[in-house]
């Protein structure tokens, strides 16, 4: 069971974990041991609240397929247990990031003094550059 918040939990039957062989260099042991974890989580079949499902499906994330399945591959650790914990933690952070509502940005105008200072600094910089030019006799 994966606890997302105080009142939202994901049951163990909703998460499909499978052990696979890790990619990349790792010596003789990497070819024999299946230490990487492949996590699959079907958003549509899950018991998540509708708000969570809609926000997750609206995310533009490469880990979410068109069918609404989240696929996470964890292979950075040497043990299967550590990779399993990492995959579950990544799933939790993905769900939490989808439900976080950003504060709307309001456009503001710069103050008159900041506009004046900006123009004055541009004029001063232009004068400095102008003094670097060739001297005409």
Domain for residue 108, yes or no? no
The predicted structure's pLDDT at residue 98: 87
**Residue partners of 82: CB distance under 8 A and separation at least 6:** none
Domain for residue 133, yes or no? no
CATH of the domain at 19: 3.30.160.20
pTM of the model: 0.69
29 secondary structure, DSSP code: G
Domain for residue 78, yes or no? yes
Domain for residue 105, yes or no? no
Give 8-40 pLDDT, tens digit per residue.
888 889 899 998 887 777 666 666 778 889 999
The predicted structure's pLDDT at residue 107: 92
- Strands laid side by side in the 36-42 sheet: 15-20, 36-42, 69-74
Q: Which residue has the higher pLDDT, 30 or 104?
A: 104
Q: Which residue has the higher pLDDT, 77 or 128?
A: 128
Interhelix angle 50-58/80-99, rounded to 10 degrees, is 100
Instruction: Read off the tokens for 7.
Output: 């009142």
pLDDT band of 86, cuts 50, 70, 90: very high
Domain for residue 10, yes or no? yes
Domain for residue 91, yes or no? yes
Pairing of strands 15-20, 36-42: antiparallel
Position 106 pLDDT exceeds 80: yes
Q: Which residue has the higher pLDDT, 127 or 31?
A: 127
Domain for residue 21, yes or no? yes
Q: How many domains does the chain have?
A: 1
The predicted structure's pLDDT at residue 79: 86
The predicted structure's pLDDT at residue 14: 87
Closest alpha carbon to 98 in 46, 136, 137, 134: 46
Domain for residue 76, yes or no? yes
- What range does the domain containing 67 cover? 2-99
If phi over 0 gives left and psi between -120 and 50 gives alpha, with beta otherwise, what is residue 73?
A: beta
The predicted structure's pLDDT at residue 77: 86
Give 44-79 pLDDT, tens digit per residue.
888 888 988 898 888 888 888 999 899 999 988 888
The predicted structure's pLDDT at residue 26: 65
Closest alpha carbon to 35 in 81, 90, 71, 88: 81
């Amino acid at each position: 069971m994966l606890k997302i918040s105080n009142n939202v939990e994901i049951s163990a039957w909703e998460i499909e974990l499978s052990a696979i062989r890790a990619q990349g260099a790792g010596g003789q042991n990497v070819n024999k041991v299946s230490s990487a974890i492949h996590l699959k989580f079907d958003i549509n079949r899950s018991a998540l609240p509708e708000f969570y499902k809609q926000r997750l499906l609206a995310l533009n994330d490469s880990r979410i397929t068109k069918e609404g399945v989240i696929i996470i591959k964890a292979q950075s650790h040497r043990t299967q247990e550590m990779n399993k914990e990492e995959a579950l933690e990544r799933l939790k952070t993905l769900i939490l990031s989808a439900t976080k509502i950003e504060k709307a940005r309001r456009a503001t105008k710069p103050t008159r003094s900041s506009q004046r200072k900006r123009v004055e600094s541009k004029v001063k910089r232009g004068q400095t550059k102008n003094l670097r030019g060739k001297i005409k006799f």
